[in-house]
């Protein structure tokens, strides 16, 4: 399993770095594809004989919510449209159209359960992933995205190896028995070390915004929220009775398995940056 993870990382991470480096429109396209695959996996996990999410509506609105964060699109719309109305209009269209769709379903039993899962998938995979596009659109957004991603990778890697080496006390036995408190603490220190790297004089430097205190605090926040996000997805899979959300990424499971920590890292870094430059 570890070998598969390393092989996947060797071809996956360089491709991701290139997409982030060159920015739009490639980054938005990447996040949209990622989000649509993730919401599709989400609906497959929660689908039951009498509970069927509205998959096509979920895919369409996941695309729209992520696309609505694209800075180039927003700059174009701003000339002809009040941007403050964009999110309320999308939310209103989502709720009304999905409710009207229930009226023509052949299977009326548990229709609202399927509707609730439809909304949940869009908010999880569409709304939350959209923060990565918003983050990339900020000043020095490329470097902020790299900080969010690599700090998350550092946290996950340190948690895995520390937990494997000295982990004895389970972190959340009813949700993910393999995770340990020692691993969680190791993940925090791993995230801090990677976050401090962005203070160095490199092309990825964020020293114009961060000092040692900010870098350490941001590393802690990314690790904590990323690990909480990982537990949320583990709880979802446990409720669905599966080990992985899919098999698209060898050694890593599905697309949904790879967004659990990163999506929350993007949110934390985005709002931290807004607070820094307020």
pLDDT at 252 over 60: no
The owner of tokens 């004895």 is 168
pLDDT tens-place string over residues 41-54 = 999 888 877 778 99
Contact between residue 94 and residue 126 where contact means Cβ atoms under 8 Å apart: no
The reported pLDDT for the residue numbered 6 is 40
Query: Residue 47, class by beta-carbon neighbours within 10 Å (0-12 exposed, 13-18 middle, 19+ buried)?
Result: middle
Domain boundaries, the chain: 25-136, 142-278
pLDDT at 13 over 50: yes
Distance between CA 23 and CA 164 in Å, rounded? 36
Distances in whole angstroms, Cα of residue 88 to Cα of each of 39, 46, 59, 267: 21, 27, 19, 20
DSSP string, 134-198: HHHTSTTHHHHHHHHHHHHHHHHHHHHHHHHHH--SEEETTTEEEEEHHHHHHHHHHHHHHHHHT
pTM of the entire predicted model: 0.88
Distance between CA 99 and CA 31 in Å, rounded? 27
pLDDT at 1 over 80: no
Contact between residue 261 and residue 234 where contact means Cβ atoms under 8 Å apart: no
| Sequence-separated (6 or more) residues with CB below 8 Å from residue 101 | 54, 57
Q: Kindly indicate the confidence band of residue 5, based on its pLDDT and cuts at 50, 70 and 90.
A: very low
pLDDT tens-place string over residues 131-189 = 999 999 999 999 999 999 999 999 999 999 999 999 888 898 888 888 899 999 999 99
Beta partners for residue 170, in sequence order: 180
């Amino acid at each position: 399993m570890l070998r598969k993870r390393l092989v996947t990382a060797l071809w996956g991470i360089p491709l991701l770095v290139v997409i982030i480096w060159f920015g739009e429109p490639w980054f938005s396209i990447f996040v949209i594809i990622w989000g649509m695959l993730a919401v599709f996996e989400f609906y497959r996990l929660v689908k039951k004989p009498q509970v069927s999410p509205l998959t096509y509506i979920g895919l369409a609105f996941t695309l729209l919510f992520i696309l609505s964060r694209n800075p180039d699109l927003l700059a174009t719309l701003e000339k002809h449209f009040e941007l403050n109305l964009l999110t309320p209009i999308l939310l209103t269209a989502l709720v009304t159209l999905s409710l009207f769709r229930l009226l023509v379903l052949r299977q009326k039993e548990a229709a609202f359960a399927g509707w609730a899962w439809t909304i949940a998938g869009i908010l999880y995979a569409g709304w939350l992933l959209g923060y990565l596009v918003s983050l990339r659109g900020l000043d020095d957004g490329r470097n902020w995205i790299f900080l969010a991603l690599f700090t998350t990778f550092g946290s996950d890697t340190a948690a895995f190896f520390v937990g494997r080496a000295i982990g004895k006390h389970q972190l959340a036995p009813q949700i993910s028995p393999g995770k340990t408190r020692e691993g969680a603490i190791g993940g925090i220190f791993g995230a801090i070390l990677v976050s401090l790297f962005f203070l160095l004089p490199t092309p990825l430097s964020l020293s114009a915004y961060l000092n040692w205190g900010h870098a350490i605090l941001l590393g802690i926040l990314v690790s904590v929220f990323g690990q909480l996000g990982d537990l949320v997805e583990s709880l979802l899979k446990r409720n669905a009775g599966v080990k992985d959300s899919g098999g698209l990424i060898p050694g890593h499971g599905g697309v949904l398995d790879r967004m659990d920590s990163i999506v929350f890292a993007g949110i934390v870094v985005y709002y931290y940056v807004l607070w820094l430059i307020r």
